[in-house]
Amino acid sequence: MAIAALVCGIVGLLVFFLLVVSVVALVLGLVAASKAKRSGLGPAAGLGMARAGWILGAVGVAGFAVFVTLAATGVIDDDEIDVSQLDPGDCVDLTAGDVEEIRNLPRRACDDAHDGEVYLVDDVDFEGDEYPGLAALREQIEERCFGDAFADYVGLPYAESELGLYYLYPIEDGWRLGDREFVCIAVETDGSPMFESVEGSRR
């Protein structure tokens, strides 16, 4: 039992977000330590391993409590949002690398570090159901993203702003399923994180 408590305690430290492992280590360690004391054999009965097990279990439980507290206060934020549910004012982290299809983005509080801020969500305007092609799609989206929507949100025309932009657009597979939505996102031109909203910032 003492060995089991020690093993669970060590594992509990590695996966402290799985509370049950640390709780098992804590309980087994306390029970084993109690039995070892009553036996009078001390270390020979595994008292040291039992103590180590329940101490590691207690540390694991404490680590879980800290993790939950940080998550609840927004310091740890694993919240993701479907791109189809984005709205102007949402602050997000962007997917790194060359990714053809983006379905979800990590949502962040605008006063915490984030990659960009959504300022326009709208549908492209093409006649018919045939996919217009990337060139035509990007031309229309860029016209909309660089235009009045940016100036209205930030407070300056894009040409006068120090900000850059990033946009999401429907790919061909999504188009066949009815996706016509594009998303314009204000970002720092050098790719550095933002720490506040850019709405009305005149940046």
Most confident of the ranges 26-30, 32-36, 158-162:
158-162
Phi first, then psi, for residue 126 (nearest 5°) are: -130, 145
In whole angstroms, give the CA distance from residue 148 to residue 143.
9
Q: Where are the domains of the chain?
A: 2-72, 80-188
Q: Which two tokens stand for residue 171?
A: 């790919």
Q: Which two tokens stand for residue 121?
A: 């969500």
Residue 6 pLDDT grade (very low, low, confident, very high; cuts 50, 70, 90): very low
Q: Which amino acid is at 32?
A: A
Residue 5 pLDDT grade (very low, low, confident, very high; cuts 50, 70, 90): very low
Per-residue pLDDT tens digits for 102-112:
888 999 999 99
Write down the pLDDT at residue 8. 45
In whole angstroms, give the CA distance from residue 135 to residue 121.
20
**Average pLDDT of 6-10?**
51
Q: Which amino acid is at 130?
A: E
Is 113 in a helix, a strand, or coil?
coil
Write down the pLDDT at residue 98. 54
Q: For the chain, what is the largest distance between any 2 Cα atoms, rounded to a whole number of angstroms?
A: 87
* Model pTM score: 0.60
